[in-house]
Amino acid sequence: MLVRRRMRLPWIAATCMAWVALAVLACAAGPALFHISAAATNVADAYAAPSAAHWLGTDALGRDELARLLVGGRITLSVGAVAALVAMVIGTVYGATAGYYGGWLDTLLMRVVDVFLSVPTLFLLLFLAAMFHGNLVTLMIVIGATSWLGPARLVRGEVLTLKERLYVEAARSLGAGDGRIIFRHLVPNAAGTIITTTTFMVASAMLAETALSYLGIGVRAPMPSWGNLLSGAQSDIFAGAYWLILPPGLAILTTVCSFNFIGDWLRERQERALADP
Amino acid sequence: MSTFIARRLLWSIPTLLGVTMLTFLLIHIAPGGPALALAGQRATPAQIAAVTHALGLDRPLYVQYARWLGALLHGNLGFSYVQQSPVALLVAQRLPQTLLLMGSALLASVLLAVPLGVYQAYRRNTAFDRVASVFVFLSWSMPTFWFGTILIAIFAVTLRWFPVGGLQTIDTTAFDWPTRIAHLVMPAATLAIVSVAGWSRYIRGSMIEQLREDYTRTAVAKGLSTRRVLFRHTLRNALIPFITLLGATVPALFGGAIITEQIFAYPGMGQLFWQSAIDRDYPTLLGMTVLTGALVVLGNLFADVMYAVVDPRVRYD
């Protein structure tokens, strides 16, 4: 077909994109606009049920749950984005190197991936997070550094087929070096795979933050994150504050699910474009 | 076939050696170190130095690695300074519990995911498929511990069908089977939820692909019942790639067990690993990682062999 058929945006993918955009916007701008500070405590008002003053109620220290949810979203969304970015950069460089050079280097690099894959990711994550506990930046790096294996394999596979294309030969005959071919030609052409995988990575990095916060080695209190708001709410149930469990849980669930749906749609779109160019 | 298995077994040796090196290096680049953990936060530098020397931690790294690997080859997984017990014993007490949990979760996942995936593929793009897909994505995106907490709130606290958790002691032989199974239902369901989601999605995709194949059309054209076409023809072919996926799920199940065992106070490997990570109990972490690595490598090997057994087109020599 000469004219590229326009892909319809299914309503579910559109809704998910809108939701992610809304969540990012609310968490980015919300805390500045919202009239209650996330850090303001008021013990007299502890465990207040949702009301006109506190839309989502208050926690054990009387802090406003909505304000904390907005600030926590900043943390969780940034952990998701930065960790996904770290994973993708490592995975892309690693996978593209293995796929491009091939031979013994490829075998060696992929054996190393096999080694990493033999250790449960959560073992590594727990291990590293317990070692370098306490700092938000290290948390992002640790999550990213334990999730590059999948992306590395995907990018390698993509580069293996792309490197046989004529434009690579053309670039080489014009005198382009290996680095230029990999990063100016191969990686941009693998962008579809990379973007799709990044979307899934954001989702899994957010879940990793939640899991680590539950295990007590994620984002440290008093800094709120969706993960530690949710794990903290587990014990608040016993104090009768059952309303605290829903907002962070639903925030994580809907946002992670949206990223997964968007990723799934992107992948399907890509597969269809390949099958029917 | 036996040459293939032998070759695969040989190939797994470098992988396992890699696992030991990776773990060993990770532990030794970590700040703090076991001596500090053992001597306590208030220890004087001299005390720490004494402990370091007593444990042989002042020897060069390759010497420590060689000693540890040599002991490992003699079946010695190491000695936990924190728990004052051989690692092998600690693991042996808990591994059966975790394997039981993982096995139940695996079984539940297959029993739920396969029929769901098949039916979704058969009814693809209908309202049922869409609704089921949304639920699959939701359970895929749910923090595991949240799901576990909801189960506790509903089935343990409100309905009182199952115990909240806590098999109290590691020596579960003290409990009879009905008690053990009652303690197993909710943890297994929690551990299974993610794989049910992932697998049913996979089966659905793989079934849709197979339903487009010519042999399916032939089977339908010669008048076979839908059930027979679905289960005797397409599902058999759709399950072949699924075997590899099953093998690859083993590490995820071990990881998931950490969270699940934490929620339900289930005395297994996951709990031991978490405790050891918090205590910086390096020999235990090291021993468990190597053992898990070995189980994962074996799981993948088994999946590869099964793949060859199930699919006669696959020839490995």
Interface-testing mutation among B16, B20, B146, with chain A (most A C-beta atoms within 10 A): B146
B280 part of contact set with chain A, CB < 8 Å: yes
**B40: helix, strand or coil:** coil
- Chain B residues with CB-CB distance to A126 below 8 A: 258, 273-274, 277
Q: Distance of alpha carbon B46 from its chain centroid, rounded?
A: 42
The pair phi, psi for residue A177, each rounded to 5°, is -80, 175
Distance from CA of A186 to the nearest CA of B (A): 29
Say whether B143 and A114 touch across the interface (CB within 8 A): no
Q: Is pLDDT at B142 greater than 50 in this prediction?
A: yes
Distance from CA of B310 to the nearest CA of A (A): 24
Say whether A234 and B14 touch across the interface (CB within 8 A): no
Structure token digits, residue B207? 């079934």
Q: Is pLDDT at B32 greater than 70 in this prediction?
A: no
Residue A81: what pLDDT?
A: 93
Dihedral of the alpha carbons of A28, A32, A38, A39, in degrees to the nearest 10: 120
- In this structure, is the dihedral angle defined by the CA atoms of residues B103, B105, B108 and B110, taken in order, positive or negative? negative
**A174: helix, strand or coil:** coil
CA nearest B273 in A: which residue?
A: A123
B33 part of contact set with chain A, CB < 8 Å: no
What does pLDDT average to over chain B? Answer: 81
B191 contact partners, CB below 8 Å, separation of at least 6: B101, B102, B105, B144, B253, B256, B257, B260
Peptide bond preceding A222 in cis form (omega within 30 of 0): yes
Q: Match 């806590």 to its residue by tokens.
A: B166
Residue A84: what pLDDT?
A: 93
As a whole-number percent, the residues of chain B with pLDDT over 70 amount to 91
Q: Which of these ranges, A171-175, B80-84, B209-213, B265-269, has the smallest mean pLDDT?
A: B80-84
User: Could you tell me if A95 and A117 are in contact, meaning their C-beta atoms sit under 8 angstroms apart?
Assistant: no
- Chain A residues with CB-CB distance to B264 below 8 A: none
Question: How many angstroms separate the CA atoms of A76 and A28, rounded?
Answer: 12
Closest Cβ–Cβ partner in A203, A231, A237 for B145: A231
Residue A4: what pLDDT?
A: 52
Residue B310: what pLDDT?
A: 76
Residue A2: what pLDDT?
A: 46
Distance from CA of B176 to the nearest CA of A (A): 30
Q: Match 């954001």 to its residue by tokens.
A: A202
Structure token digits, residue B267? 């005395």
How far apart, in Å, are the Cα atoms of B225 and each of B125, B132, B221, B230? 22, 25, 10, 9
Q: With a cut of 70, which residues of chain A have pLDDT below it?
A: 1-8, 32, 35-36, 38, 40-44, 46-48, 52-55, 60, 62, 134, 238-240, 276-277
Structure token digits, residue B272? 């031991």
Say whether B255 and A122 touch across the interface (CB within 8 A): yes
B89 part of contact set with chain A, CB < 8 Å: no
Residue B183: what pLDDT?
A: 77
**A58: helix, strand or coil:** strand
Q: Work out the number of other CB atoms within 10 angstroms of the CB of residue A33.
A: 8
Question: How many angstroms separate the CA atoms of A12 and A19, rounded?
Answer: 10
Question: How many angstroms separate the CA atoms of A87 and A138, rounded?
Answer: 13
The string of pLDDT tens digits covering residues B280-313 is 777 788 888 888 888 888 888 888 888 777 777 7
The string of pLDDT tens digits covering residues B44-73 is 778 878 877 777 777 777 888 888 888 888
Chain A contacts to B (CB-CB under 8 A): 12, 111-112, 114-124, 126-128, 130-132, 203, 207, 210-211, 214-217, 227, 230-231, 234, 237, 245, 249, 252-253, 256-257, 259-261, 264
Question: How many angstroms separate the CA atoms of B257 and A120, rounded?
Answer: 10
Question: How many angstroms separate the CA atoms of B37 and B33, rounded?
Answer: 7
- Report the alpha-carbon angle B142-B148-B149, nearest 5: 105
Length of chain B, in residues: 317
Peptide bond preceding A10 in cis form (omega within 30 of 0): no
Dihedral of the alpha carbons of B137, B141, B143, B147, in degrees to the nearest 10: -10
The string of pLDDT tens digits covering residues B154-208 is 877 777 777 776 665 555 556 677 777 777 888 888 888 888 888 898 888 888 8
ipTM value: 0.81
Structure token digits, residue B35? 């001596």
Q: A with B: how many residue pairs have Cβ under 8 Å apart?
A: 122
B25 part of contact set with chain A, CB < 8 Å: no
Question: How many angstroms separate the CA atoms of B220 and B234, rounded?
Answer: 11
B69 part of contact set with chain A, CB < 8 Å: no
Q: Distance of alpha carbon B163 from its chain centroid, rounded?
A: 24
Question: How many angstroms separate the CA atoms of A220 and A179, rounded?
Answer: 41
Pick from B22, B79, B10: nearest CA to B289? B22
Residue B209: what pLDDT?
A: 84
Say whether B296 and A111 touch across the interface (CB within 8 A): no
Residue B36: what pLDDT?
A: 67
Total-model pTM: 0.85
B146 part of contact set with chain A, CB < 8 Å: yes
Closest Cβ–Cβ partner in A132, A215, A261 for B262: A215
Residue A1: what pLDDT?
A: 42
- Label residue B177 exposed, middle or buried (CB < 10 Å: 0-12, 13-18, 19+): exposed
Pick from A129, A149, A151, A264: nearest CA to A209? A129
Residue A67: what pLDDT?
A: 80
Say whether B258 and A215 touch across the interface (CB within 8 A): yes
A141 contact partners, CB below 8 Å, separation of at least 6: A83, A86
- Chain B residues with CB-CB distance to A121 below 8 A: 251-252, 255
B223 part of contact set with chain A, CB < 8 Å: no
Q: Match 């659905």 to its residue by tokens.
A: B204
Say whether B14 and A111 touch across the interface (CB within 8 A): yes
User: Could you tell me if A63 and A36 are in contact, meaning their C-beta atoms sit under 8 angstroms apart?
Assistant: no
Q: Work out the number of other CB atoms within 10 angstroms of the CB of residue B188.
A: 24
- Chain A residues with CB-CB distance to B143 below 8 A: 207, 210-211, 214, 227, 230, 249, 252-253
CA nearest B249 in A: which residue?
A: A120
B215 part of contact set with chain A, CB < 8 Å: no
Length of chain A, in residues: 277
Looking at per-residue confidence, does A133 or B14 come out higher? Answer: B14
